[in-house]
Amino acid sequence: MTDDAAREAYFREGHRAIRDYYLVDSASPYRQSGRTGGAKHWEITRCCIAEAVNADGDYLDLGCANGLLLESLLRWCDERGFSITPHGVDFVPELVELAQQRLPDYAANFHVANAFFWQPPQRYRFVQLLLDAVPPADERAYVARVLREMVASPGRLVVSIYGQGTSATPEVAVETLEDLGFEVAGATACVSASVAWIEKTGADLESA
């Protein structure tokens, strides 16, 4: 566990860095989701996340930025035969507003909050998170709480790790989750993204 002052400093610095980088170019929806480049680069660095979706249902993106990933997943999942309902949380209000403008039919599903502390109004068939949303010492507690309090049963927690370039492999996310003590059900990778998921079933409802 991180002490409260160190955790607050981590969130404060993360919030400042995100605002400085994501909000400087209002013409680029990719930049507002943390990526350089255009549509093609966006697609090859995120498309594999849709492979984690194996059913219709609610999809919560913890750290949703401007909602571009959710908008893309709506299309990519539809192409794979699955219908998702997007939900998002982000601690930068301007990004949540952009997500609501991007997905106006789902505006009520977006919340301004710190995902580490957020109390969800419901559970979700799919929840996606990035571990760097919390200090390293809080990663295990964060994953455990999201599994326990946010993922439906049955449901799936999808963990993405970005930034390994063209050599990204599923093993990066698998080994990270296993090192934290979680059993991995599946994994994939695309350019710059390693993605693994944890399955939640009725049997582990109490133990998660």
Ligand X SMILES: C[S@@+](CC[C@H](N)C(=O)[O-])C[C@H]1O[C@@H](n2cnc3c(N)ncnc32)[C@H](O)[C@@H]1O
Q: Does 64 help bind ligand X (rule: CB under 6 A)? A: yes
Q: Does 92 help bind ligand X (rule: CB under 6 A)? A: yes
Q: Does 82 help bind ligand X (rule: CB under 6 A)? A: no
Q: Which is nearer to ligand X, 14 or 57 (CB)?
A: 14
Which residues are CB-contacts of 181 (< 8 A; sequence separation ≥ 6)? 140
Number of residues that bind ligand X (CB under 6 A): 22
CB of 33 to ligand X, least distance (A): 5
Site string for ligand X, 109-128 (x = CB under 6 A): -----xxx------------
Give the Cα separation of 151 and 131 in Å (integer).
Answer: 16
Q: Does 57 help bind ligand X (rule: CB under 6 A)? A: no
Burial of 81 (0-12, 13-18, 19+ CB in 10 A): exposed
Q: Does 106 help bind ligand X (rule: CB under 6 A)? A: no
CB of 84 to ligand X, least distance (A): 14
Q: Which run of H or of E encompasses 11? A: helix 4-22
Kindly calculate the radius of gyration of the chain based on its CA atoms and give it in whole angstroms: 16
The residue type of 114 is N
Q: Which is nearer to ligand X, 31 or 201 (CB)?
A: 31
CB of 175 to ligand X, least distance (A): 20
CA distances from 199 to 54, 63, 100, 102, 147 (A): 11, 20, 29, 30, 9
CB of 11 to ligand X, least distance (A): 6
Q: Which is nearer to ligand X, 91 or 182 (CB)?
A: 91
Residue in the shown chain whose Cβ atom is closest to ligand X? 63
Q: Tell me 81's DSSP state.
A: T
Q: Does 89 help bind ligand X (rule: CB under 6 A)? A: yes
Which residues are CB-contacts of 207 (< 8 A; sequence separation ≥ 6)? none
Q: Using DSSP, state whether 64 is helix, strand or coil.
A: coil
Closest to 33 (Cα-Cα) out of 86, 84, 72, 59: 72
Which of 75-83, 108-116, 168-176, 179-187 is the region at the interface with ligand X (rule: CB under 6 A)?
A: 108-116
Q: Does 182 help bind ligand X (rule: CB under 6 A)? A: no
Q: How long, in residues, is the chain?
A: 208
Which residues contact ligand X (rule: CB under 6 A)? 11, 14, 18, 33-34, 46, 61, 63-65, 69, 89-92, 95, 114-116, 130, 133, 160
